[in-house]
Amino acid sequence: MIRRYVIPAAALALASLLASAGHARAQEYDSRDIMGGGPNFFGGGVSPIPRETVSFPTNYAPGTIVINTAERRLYLVQGGGVALRYGIGVGRDGFRWSGVHRISAKREWPGWTPPVQMRRRRPDLPGYMSGGIDNPLGARALYLGSTLYRIHGSNEPETIGHAVSSGCFRMTNEDVVDLYNRVSVGATVVVKN
């Protein structure tokens, strides 16, 4: 028996439009990615720590993000005593911090300007890197107040669950997109060591 697969006209039109416009990202992904069927739609693969709903009794309001750096987990409070739990990469020794901030901005495929302190440690880093799959900030970034820190994506899933960053919190691109779609600018972020 011969099976035929029909690709919806809207998906074909979108792929055609992106390609004809010379859109840079259309060249990065094949048709499976455009339609959401590819294994690495946002690059970087699946988290070694699966996202899950867990018991989380707390007095924090729903929508609050609680980061436990010792556990290397991020919790999005849902209310009713539960939270969504995500695996994260945290700051390595000497770069961990704690405090309370609010999400001050959200960006899709953000550009990255390495901070001066980081460029002193790593003079090989570029002065600026455009957004895209190879950018260290990944598919999405949530900016924390006026700090240099962010919750952001990563194309290195093997770093999730480890102390690897210069103070930012990294997630797989798939998980950061999920979180990005669930929270708003102004949401409270509580960082605990």
CB atoms under 10 Å from CB of 139, counted, come to 28
Per CATH, domain 52-192 is 2.40.440.10? yes
For residue 162, indicate whether it is catalytic: no
Report whether 110 contacts 135 (CB < 8 A): yes
Of 23, 101, 162, 168, which one is the catalytic site residue?
Answer: 168
Average pLDDT over residues 156-175: 95
pTM of the model: 0.77
Q: What is the dihedral sign for C-alpha 26, 29, 30, 35?
A: negative
Give me the mean pLDDT over the 48-67 stretch. Answer: 96
Residue 109: CB partners within 8 Å, gap ≥ 6?
Answer: 25, 131, 132, 135, 139, 140
Q: Is 152 a catalytic residue?
A: yes
Please tell me the predicted confidence (pLDDT) of residue 1. Answer: 39
